[in-house]
Amino acid sequence: MNIITSERFEELMIIVIIILLIAILIVSILYLLKISSIIDEGKKNDIYEGIVDAYLNDIETCTIKIEQVAINFIESPHFRDPLFRELMTKELINTHHYLTGLIKNRLQTFYFSSGLVNDSYLKLKSNDWHLQCKGINEFSEMDAISYYDDILSLRFNKNSQVRLQAVLSLIKLKGKNAYKDVSNFDYNVNRWAIANVIELIKDLPDNQIFDYNLMLNSNNDAVKIIGISLIEHFKLKTYEDELNTLKSDSVSSTMLKLQY
């Protein structure tokens, strides 16, 4: 049987203390580096915000051709910094969301001509579901209809958030013309998911609302529920008989769980 002498015990304790001190030192250094990085990023943000505002002003005032604004942006010494491009994309989307007409079109042209669309594409193709959702949302917010098929490929993604974001974007981009692509989507009869789809469809122009008869006769209970909810929201009396029939069949138990 090995017996640890007092001298040996002291040596072991010293080794343990040294290891703990080294670990604490490493953690402290990493923490300080993280804090420094956050501070640097904050300073960059402050600088970049003014530059981004200047580009947005060039886009909105229409005094410079939009292609030239995009070239100036690409030739900026900050262009290679992902943080700069991310901030520009964010502000571009926020502005695009609330405007119409010529300026909205210029914002969209800038998004494509400046290469910011490529950043959105890389996000969409990422293995990180958060980035995928972000890329999908950026495409739909900027009306990037040319990427419809790329978004379509994600509607059966293993991540439920990516699937839902894809479906919402498909509807936003094509309205009723997206029906065939989203009608067989597995909504998991989830209150939150269905509510999001309903809210989006309600905001579509009247001529882009899905065909109610198609929805009510769908083989997908979730699609039926969305159709029923929309008909009730818009108070469409002509569908009263169909609603009464549906609410008395297999959809009724699901409807009870999803009362809004």
Q: Which parts of the chain sit beneath pLDDT 50?
A: 256, 259-260
pLDDT reported for residue 58: 92
Contact 203, 195 (CB under 8 A): no
Question: Diameter of the chain by CA atoms?
Answer: 93
Other CB atoms within a 10 A radius of the CB of residue 260 amount to: 10
Angle made by CA atoms 100, 103, 56, in degrees to the nearest 5: 125
Cα(184)–Cα(192) distance, integer angstroms: 18
DSSP 210: P
138: tokens are 């950026």
Other CB atoms within a 10 A radius of the CB of residue 152 amount to: 18
pLDDT reported for residue 260: 43
This prediction has a pTM of 0.74
CA 10 to chain centre: 58
pLDDT reported for residue 144: 95
pLDDT in tens, 66-98: 999 999 999 999 999 999 999 999 999 999 988
User: Which long-range contacts (C-beta less than 8 Å, at least 24 apart) are formed by 100-103?
Assistant: 102/62, 103/59, 103/60, 103/62
Q: Which spans in the chain are helix H? A: 6-61, 66-74, 82-98, 101-113, 116-124, 129-141, 148-152, 160-174, 179-182, 191-202, 212-216, 221-233, 240-247, 251-257
